[in-house]
Amino acid sequence: MIKLFCVYLLISFSSTFEFIFKPGPLVPASKGEIWPKPQQEDKLDERFFSILPTFFYFNSIGNRCNTLTEALNRYRKLIIFNNRHIKEIYYKARSCYEGGDSNFLGYLTSIEVDLTGVCNDEEYPSFEMKEEYVVNVTSTVQRISSDTIWGILRGLETFSQLIYLSDDYSCHRIETTVIHDYPRFAHRGLLLDTSRHYIPKKSILKLIETMSYNKFNVFHWHITDDYSFPYVSKTFPQMSDKGAFHPTLMTYDQNFVNEVQEYARKRGIRVLAEFDTPGHTLSWGLGNPDLLTACHNVPQLEWGPINPIKNTTYEFIFKLFEEIKSTYKDQYTHLGGDEVDFSCWKSNPEINQWMAENGIVGDYIALQSYYIQKLINYVDSLGLNSIVWEEVFTNGVTLPKSTVVNVWISDDPKTTLKQVTEAGHPTIISSYWYLDILKTGGDWLKFYNADPQDFDGTEEQKKLVLGGEACMWSEVVNEYNLESRVWPRASVAAERFWSPPDDPKTEQNMAELWPVASRLQEQTCRMNRRGVEAQPPSGPSVCF
Amino acid sequence: MIKLFCVYLLISFSSTFEFIFKPGPLVPASKGEIWPKPQQEDKLDERFFSILPTFFYFNSIGNRCNTLTEALNRYRKLIIFNNRHIKEIYYKARSCYEGGDSNFLGYLTSIEVDLTGVCNDEEYPSFEMKEEYVVNVTSTVQRISSDTIWGILRGLETFSQLIYLSDDYSCHRIETTVIHDYPRFAHRGLLLDTSRHYIPKKSILKLIETMSYNKFNVFHWHITDDYSFPYVSKTFPQMSDKGAFHPTLMTYDQNFVNEVQEYARKRGIRVLAEFDTPGHTLSWGLGNPDLLTACHNVPQLEWGPINPIKNTTYEFIFKLFEEIKSTYKDQYTHLGGDEVDFSCWKSNPEINQWMAENGIVGDYIALQSYYIQKLINYVDSLGLNSIVWEEVFTNGVTLPKSTVVNVWISDDPKTTLKQVTEAGHPTIISSYWYLDILKTGGDWLKFYNADPQDFDGTEEQKKLVLGGEACMWSEVVNEYNLESRVWPRASVAAERFWSPPDDPKTEQNMAELWPVASRLQEQTCRMNRRGVEAQPPSGPSVCF
């Protein structure tokens, strides 16, 4: 009855690839393929080890610290408890017996973990973090090695993904391979909006854990917006007392913010806080009524953006950003700046009088610039790097060259990227990876085919692309559909940010699409096995 | 960043309704409104009772049986454990103290349940079931009454929905009201496809339980299809041994089929089994290789529909339907018949030879008719009523008048409905309520605005509309996203099937849309409170 979908696939299969329409899963999962695809993998031959999960351990031969120990424990559990959700398979594969297969190299009971550089539990991941690593699984050497703890974390994920279940579900196997891997982009983000719906704490932590399965390294926390202010400020507790959906049940206090950062640090993930101003701040007005611009006869609006002409505004904002500086560990902070609606500013007599007195009569972009420049300068003085949404740049606000411009509007991102990088700004692009927009199925091909550096510009301009972000705006998600809406579609963005560029795939060329779809199916099953409610990416399927 | 959505709403609010864009939920939930909307509700005045959940019980004053007792226990738990997922609110509302409100009528400790007709635990719900009931909550009478157990079940659901949490979360209240209610349509179905993904048993039972919260009364179980055959046949166990995604972990055995029917019976829900033939049967060929038509040089197909020229085909199919008759309790069975692809029949020399010998050379519709008529006649001889997908009718297969035609194609359902009912067939319509098709958000307005009887026809023709079905084809859902994809969007279909017709709503007329949206938000929160992972229907929201 929705055969339309299948018929469509059927037609599209026809060009180059002898696809036979059969019972069973439409796209069977690959076995032991890595997601995101490594920069370099040399599969040596058909030989393989088997793993008896309960007899497997990591042999740490390099530098150590708690971060490493905890990571080894985490990945040991992921390996031991592989397939635990299907008891019959779990127990069968624990007592795997390999017969006389000539490719069988023996049971792999351990792998060396060699952290050659310093392991420092005080160090937070940063924009400059190095994530390069090597994984060797050969008949003579089995080792994960890296100069950095971040590289080891990525290598552990890769190693855990090499393990697959044999066709008869009886053994966990791992084939001989050598992987040398590092990310294409330094900034690989997932944005979560916790204002339009309150997202429970455990869902946020689980999202971050799942990010690590996909080698994301930036959790972009869009923590406040028009609808609610769930952040419990030390300096201004009334902001969440009045502005959250509930003052205690639906807030994130300092302990939790610290917990998130520590949890993310252990997984090599940065926490990028966004306190979006001067628009998207209606909920801020509940805790600080002086902060917003009163609208005068504007349809449907009583309050507008932050009032940029009052000294009290800056006293408040500067104190808030002082707190942000002391609370959040990352070198970067996201200042927002998107979608500032000028209608209330236009309607407000005091604002217009002030603008006349300051020689910018009628120029509301200049007023926005006035606000955002004061904010950027202050944030700069705190020693933080700023990221802003693209309108701040496209509206012509004068910005320091170091300010990162986050391109998000989907109309013509390539032109914007060209302009932003021509002006010398580093950039992060989100336009292509909006997770809230969904059709019937997995909707992942468009995510796969978008490339952050695909715009008209010089090599120098291309280098200014720091990376990209997938965005989970929460108008349409809460704790109940968050996980299935994010995964595995965000995984596809993650591959685009980590892996080498790839030619666009089409449903008309199944021969090329198929290997990607099979790996994505395996990554989906892998997340399901680890307890993540990832939805099916490509039609009828089955996971073991 | 997805403000587009909000801006859009903002614009659409502007016509007739003074909507102010504010922090907090976009559409606050109503309080104690019923979903689906009852045929008749007279809210008497502002007076209310409060309920101390742990001191509340049902006082059964009429006929009794186990079905009733179990239902009372079920609803007592739903009332007692209201809000249990938020402990702070749960405990607060358990010790509710009402102050000096002049509208406070006292604490309601019980409600009478008066089943005036026979209560028979052996009786299954049927197409003829009566579901009419009355709920009285006045200062003098508090009673749920009905002639039938099915009416009592609907009344219990309605009563439980009247209870709401006071604004300060301190008390569960219920306002005085008199409700006289009955369904607009006798057939109010939800289709679940368990072939394209295996849906775990507990998910099926939970779906049925949630159907009862929405007064659905038919679980249409599309149990097999091309991808897998999960039904464990007593007569032909090889069908699931070979045709299921896994022969033991991913099948539905007889015990489970019986459990589903018993579970559904207790909730006044019929189980309508569909074994779709002669197309959509690729997985059938794994267990019975003789059954399907071999394709001769058809691109991408080795096997086609069931082979209708072999005697062995009918031996198999007739035995299978004998088993279906003995396994499933409902008077109706769904024979499928949709999307039969003729290419394999066309390619097959034996088929063409047989057609020549039987005087229907080149007429594949006649071949399809030959098959489906034999099947319908046999099913008829078993004493079962048949339902078929619309192509069986539109292809011109001669059908008994009693055969129900299930209209599903979305191109022009009104013309099809006109033709089907002109021909005197009863009909069920699914075209408008395809749950797999989804845009960004709740996508429910189109479901609300579709009306089963909106086509060009006489009163007699309109009466042939038995009802409708919402369809959850499972190309894109499995256990992980099923619940949020179905709810609350299927609830909207449920209201269309139960409640009086309503004028179409638009986003341009918020004054009319708002009351529906608020009730739907309350129904969503209610399902969330009961542990159902319903997704947000209308943008930023909060549930307590």
Decide if A339 is catalytic. Answer: yes
Among the ranges given (A183-187, B5-9, B105-109, B392-396), the one the predictor scored with the smallest mean pLDDT: B5-9
User: Is residue B395 within 8 Å of residue B342, measured between CB atoms?
Assistant: no
User: Is residue A379 within 8 Å of residue A332, measured between CB atoms?
Assistant: no
Is the residue at A342 inside a domain?
A: yes
Confidence class for position B11, pLDDT limits 50, 70, 90: very low
Same domain flag for A274 and A238: yes
Q: Does A411 touch chain B (CB under 8 A)?
A: no
Confidence class for position B12, pLDDT limits 50, 70, 90: very low
Q: What is the mean pLDDT of residues B190-218?
A: 98
Per-residue confidence (pLDDT) for residue A18, from 0 to 100: 72
Per-residue confidence (pLDDT) for residue B9, from 0 to 100: 44
Within 10 angstroms of residue A315's Cβ, the number of other Cβ atoms is 10
pTM of this prediction?
A: 0.96
Q: Does B282 touch chain A (CB under 8 A)?
A: yes
Q: How far apart are CA B199 and CA B485, in angstroms?
A: 14
Per-residue confidence (pLDDT) for residue A7, from 0 to 100: 38
SS3 content of chain A, % helix, strand, coil (to 5): 35, 20, 45
Q: How far is A244 from chain B (nearest CA, A)?
A: 8
Q: What is the mean pLDDT of residues B249-255?
A: 97
Q: Is the pLDDT of residue A337 over 90?
A: yes
A272-322 per-position pLDDT tens digit: 999 999 999 999 999 999 999 999 999 999 999 999 999 999 999 999 999
Location of structure tokens 């859009």:
B8
Same domain flag for A154 and A5: no
User: Is residue A528 within 8 Å of residue B183, measured between CB atoms?
Assistant: no
Q: Where are the alpha helices (DSSP H) in B293-431?
A: 311-327, 343-347, 349-357, 364-381, 390-394, 413-422
Per-residue confidence (pLDDT) for residue B447, from 0 to 100: 97
Q: Is the pLDDT of residue A13 over 50?
A: no
Residue among A422, A482, A486, A408 nearest A450 (CA)? A408
Q: Is the pLDDT of residue A73 over 70?
A: yes
Same domain flag for B254 and B336: yes
Q: Does B442 touch chain A (CB under 8 A)?
A: yes
Same domain flag for A194 and A333: yes
Q: Which one-letter DSSP state was computed for residue A332?
A: E
Question: If residue B3 lies in a helix (H) or strand (E), which one and from where to where?
Answer: helix B3-12
Confidence class for position A4, pLDDT limits 50, 70, 90: very low
Same domain flag for B127 and B78: yes
Pull the structure tokens for residue B141: 């009478």
Q: Is the pLDDT of residue B15 over 80?
A: no
Per-residue confidence (pLDDT) for residue A432, from 0 to 100: 97
B494-520 per-position pLDDT tens digit: 999 999 999 999 988 888 999 999 999
Q: How far apart are CA A198 and CA A479, in angstroms?
A: 8
User: Is residue B486 within 8 Å of residue B4, measured between CB atoms?
Assistant: no
Nearest residue in chain A measured CA to CA from B9: A300
Is the residue at B384 inside a domain?
A: yes
> 3-state DSSP call for residue A485?
helix
Pull the structure tokens for residue B22: 């504010």
The most distant pair of C-alpha atoms in chain B lies apart, rounded to whole Å, by 89
Same domain flag for B138 and B195: no
The residues pairing with A472 across neighbouring beta strands, listed in sequence order, are A192
Nearest residue in chain A measured CA to CA from B437: A440
CATH of the domain at B81: 3.30.379.10
Map A416-454 to HEC letters: HHHHHHHCCCCEEECCCCECCCCCCCCCCHHHHHCCCCC
Per-residue confidence (pLDDT) for residue A185, from 0 to 100: 98
A129-149 per-position pLDDT tens digit: 999 999 999 999 999 999 999
User: Is residue B222 within 8 Å of residue B191, measured between CB atoms?
Assistant: yes
Query: Integer distance in angstroms from the first to the last C-alpha of chain B?
Result: 27
Q: Which amino acid is at B28?
A: P
Nearest residue in chain A measured CA to CA from B86: A249
Per-residue confidence (pLDDT) for residue B17, from 0 to 100: 63
Q: How far apart are CA A181 and CA A131, in angstroms?
A: 8
Per-residue confidence (pLDDT) for residue A9, from 0 to 100: 44
Q: Is the pLDDT of residue A257 over 70?
A: yes
Q: Is the pLDDT of residue A11 over 70?
A: no
Q: What is the mean pLDDT of residues A424-430?
A: 98
Q: How far apart are CA B84 and CA B60, in angstroms?
A: 26
Same domain flag for B401 and B432: yes
Per-residue confidence (pLDDT) for residue B16, from 0 to 100: 53
Which among B88, B285, B473 has CB closest to A2? B473
Exposure of B234 in the CB half-sphere (CA atoms within 13 A): 14
Is the residue at A35 inside a domain?
A: no
Residues 291-330 on B with a CB inside 8 Å of A are: 299-302
User: Is residue A303 within 8 Å of residue A292, measured between CB atoms?
Assistant: yes
Pull the structure tokens for residue A65: 């610290």
Per-residue confidence (pLDDT) for residue A17, from 0 to 100: 63
CB neighbour class for B170 (10 Å; exposed up to 12, middle 13-18, buried from 19): middle
The pLDDT mean for chain B works out to: 94
Question: If residue B489 lies in a helix (H) or strand (E), which one and from where to where?
Answer: helix B489-498
Q: Of residues A97 and A423, which shows the higher confidence score?
A: A423
How many separate helices (H) and strands (E) can be counted in chain A? Answer: 19, 18
Which among B20, B25, B436 has CB closest to A440? B436
Q: What is the mean pLDDT of residues A163-167?
A: 93
Per-residue confidence (pLDDT) for residue B449, from 0 to 100: 97
User: Is residue A294 within 8 Å of residue A269, measured between CB atoms?
Assistant: no
User: Is residue A323 within 8 Å of residue A316, measured between CB atoms?
Assistant: no
Task: Tell me the DSSP string of A178-189.
Answer: EEEE--S-SEEE
Same domain flag for B203 and B287: yes
Q: Which residues of B touch A90 (CB under 8 A)?
A: none
Within 10 angstroms of residue A131's Cβ, the number of other Cβ atoms is 24
Query: What is the number of structural domains in chain B?
Result: 3
Contact B542 A280 (CB under 8 A): no
Is the residue at B35 inside a domain?
A: no
Boundaries of domain holding A533: 1-30+508-544
Same domain flag for B226 and B173: no
Task: Tell me the DSSP string of B426-478.
Answer: -EEE-TT-BTT---SS---HHHHH--TT-SS--HHHHHTEEEEEEEE-SSS--
Residues 169-188 on B with a CB inside 8 Å of A are: none
Q: What is the mean pLDDT of residues A85-92?
A: 83
Which among A19, A86, A434 has CB closest to B300? A19
CB–CB contacts below 8 A, A to B = 211
Same domain flag for B388 and B530: no
Confidence class for position A8, pLDDT limits 50, 70, 90: very low
The most distant pair of C-alpha atoms in chain A lies apart, rounded to whole Å, by 89
Q: Which amino acid is at A41?
A: E
Location of structure tokens 């049986």:
B65
Same domain flag for A169 and A199: no
Per-residue confidence (pLDDT) for residue B398, from 0 to 100: 85
Per-residue confidence (pLDDT) for residue B88, from 0 to 100: 84
Best of B1, B92, B167 to mutate (most A CBs within 10 Å, chain A): B1
Per-residue confidence (pLDDT) for residue A10, from 0 to 100: 40
Same domain flag for B445 and B399: yes
Q: Is the pLDDT of residue B62 over 90?
A: yes
Confidence class for position A76, pLDDT limits 50, 70, 90: very high
The pLDDT mean for chain A works out to: 94
User: Is residue B170 within 8 Å of residue B96, measured between CB atoms?
Assistant: yes
- Percentage of the residues of chain A whose pLDDT score is greater than 90: 87
Q: How far apart are CA B265 and CA A54, in angstroms?
A: 46
User: Is residue B194 within 8 Å of residue B223, measured between CB atoms?
Assistant: yes
Name every residue whose Cβ is closer than 8 Å to that of residue A273 and which is 6 or more positions away in sequence: A221, A223, A324, A327, A328, A330, A333, A334
Residue among A395, A283, A290 nearest A337 (CA)? A395
Q: How far is CA A543 from CA A529, B266, B391, in A?
A: 8, 33, 34
Contact B227 A3 (CB under 8 A): no
Residue environment code for A166-198, b if the CB has 16+ CB neighbours within 10 A, otherwise e: beebbbbbbbbbebebbbbbbbbbbbbbbbbbb
Q: Exactly one of A339, A357, A460, A479 is catalytic; which is it? A: A339
Per-residue confidence (pLDDT) for residue B6, from 0 to 100: 39
Q: Is the pLDDT of residue B228 over 50?
A: yes
Q: What is the mean pLDDT of residues B360-376?
A: 95
Q: Which amino acid is at A442?
A: G
Q: What is the mean pLDDT of residues B15-36?
A: 87
Is the residue at B271 inside a domain?
A: yes
Q: What is the mean pLDDT of residues B288-316?
A: 97
Nearest residue in chain B measured CA to CA from A168: B246
A459-474 per-position pLDDT tens digit: 999 999 999 999 999 9
Q: Does A5 touch chain B (CB under 8 A)?
A: yes
- Phi and psi at residue B461, in whole multiples of 5°? -60, -45
Contact B23 A243 (CB under 8 A): yes
Per-residue confidence (pLDDT) for residue A3, from 0 to 100: 41
Contact A438 B439 (CB under 8 A): yes
Task: Tell me the DSSP string of B101-165.
Answer: -TTEEEE--EEEEEE-S---TTPPP-TT----EEEEESSS-EEEEESSHHHHHHHHHHHHHH-EE
Name every residue whose Cβ is closer than 8 Å to that of residue A73 and which is 6 or more positions away in sequence: none
Q: How far is A531 from chain B (nearest CA, A)?
A: 10
CATH of the domain at B294: 3.20.20.80
Is the residue at A421 inside a domain?
A: yes
